[in-house]
Structure 1
Amino acid sequence: MQNIVRTTDAFQPLLLAEALKDRGSHTSGIFTREMKEAAMELKAKEDITVRQADKTAAFVLIKTKEYHEKLDAILSNSSKFERLTRNPMEDIKRDANHVISTINTSTNAVHLSPIQEDFSLGYLYGNVKTHKEGNPLRPIISQTPALTYALAKRLNQILLPMSRAAIA
């Protein structure tokens, strides 16, 4: 099998239009089985990274080396990121549990669960800005694996009704 994917000029607008559709559980009528297989093969290649485009539901193929270089450039900005020499998770867990304990003892209305599980740090990834020259990345830091994520979700559940009531 050749490692070449060929498209026509008409394919890109069709692909973008298909990606923007809200189909629910329906499958695409444009993507053939062969196209889906080719996409899976591209995703499996270590030298190619498949990322979602910024501000659209389209996907971008980018050389993995270029993708990592762009992420490294973002991380090297010392005004936004600091290199850690040790894992701060235990300190954060201890401080958060102290605050949770203080809140739980001071009120009977709100009870927050202490953080007990082991967690990992958030991670950085980037969506490609296809609408900008040089296709920079929009950095996104995922906090879902972080230890304070569940606490933040619970606080959001508590505070959101209060903020809605204050606006009304």
Structure 2
Amino acid sequence: QYINLRITIKKKKNYGRLIKRLKYKLHLKNIVLQKSDKNKVFHLGKLDDYHKKSEEYMDKTKVYKCLGTEDPLPDLIRRTNKYLLDLRLAKWITQKQYEKLCINSNEVELAHLYYLPKAHKPGTPLRPIISGLKHPTIKISKFLDELLRPLFDKMALKSTVNSGFELVKQLQEWSKDNMRQ
């Protein structure tokens, strides 16, 4: 048993070394090894292609921008915490809610955009993914969801949508009935 354990440990060390060597060699050749979008497979692609497709996506959507060395996080934290304090002082939220929602700079990071290759499609387009689980406003988002979810669920029970056209029609009717109040 002792010998088997030593062999297993040695194999794991060798796998670790092998992976490091592969990463280094791929880096030298400007090749990216990335998990693919749908399948449990990996995709090898040229780094330049990833950069080009990323820039094309950002140019096309005009929604994202590279921040470079700019870091808006401290200002976002400061402004959000000030707004929460204003809500607390105006008694719109309780002290407990204020403490729960306040942002600790050690626990947050900016949301970021990354891509997974769609290896099953011609030309291997990229699927954009936004990672925002540690975004400064995530606690506020969860708080609002908890607050509004019961109302939404109650309202959603009253309606069924079978098509996009029907959805637009129901939204227009809801607007007529509720926006006048």
User: Do they superpose with TM above 0.5?
Assistant: yes
Aligned residue number for residue 68 of structure 1: 51
Task: Indicate the percent of aligned positions where both proteins have the same amino acid.
Answer: 27
Looking at structure 2, the residues matched to 167 and 103 of structure 1 have their Cα atoms a distance apart, in angstroms, of 29
Equivalent residue for 2:104? 116
Mapped pair 1:156 → 2:145: yes
1:107 to 1:123, Cα distance in 2 relative to 1, 3 A: closer
Cα deviations across residues 120-146 of structure 1 (Å, max 9, x unaligned)? 322221111123221111111211343
- 2:114 aligned with 1:128: no
Q: Which runs of 5+ in 2 are unaligned?
A: 1-10, 158-181
Quote how far apart the aligned CAs of 1:110 are. 7.5
Aligned residues: 135
Q: Check the 8 A contact 1:53/1:127 in 2, yes or no.
A: yes
TM (norm. structure 2) is 0.55
C-alpha root-mean-square deviation of aligned residues, in Å? 3.5
Query: Where do 5+ consecutive residues of structure 1 fail to align?
Result: 1-32
TM-score (norm 1): 0.59
Match of 1:167 in 2: 156
Q: Does 1:101 align with 2:92?
A: no
Compared with structure 1, are the counterparts of its residues 125 and 155 closer, same or farther at alpha carbon in structure 2 (3 Å cutoff)?
A: same
Residue 73 (structure 2) pairs with residue 89 (structure 1): yes
- Secondary structure (helix, strand or coil) at the match of 2:123 reads coil
Query: Is the 1:42–1:48 contact (alpha carbons within 8 Å) kept by the matching residues of 2?
Result: no
Q: Give the AA of the match of 1:95.
A: R
Partner of 1:48: 31
Shift of 1:84: 4.6
Whether the 8 Å CA contact 2:101–2:139 is kept in 1: the answer is no
Q: What secondary structure sits across from 1:132 in the alignment?
A: coil
Q: Higher helix proportion, which one? A: 2
Letter in 1 for 2:49: E
Per-residue deviation at 1:62?
1.7
Distance verdict in 2 for CA 1:90–1:109, change over 3 Å:
closer
Q: Distance in 1 between matches of 2:139 and 2:47?
A: 32
Q: Report how far residue 42 of structure 1 moved.
A: 4.0
Q: Which residue of 2 aligns with 1:59?
A: 42
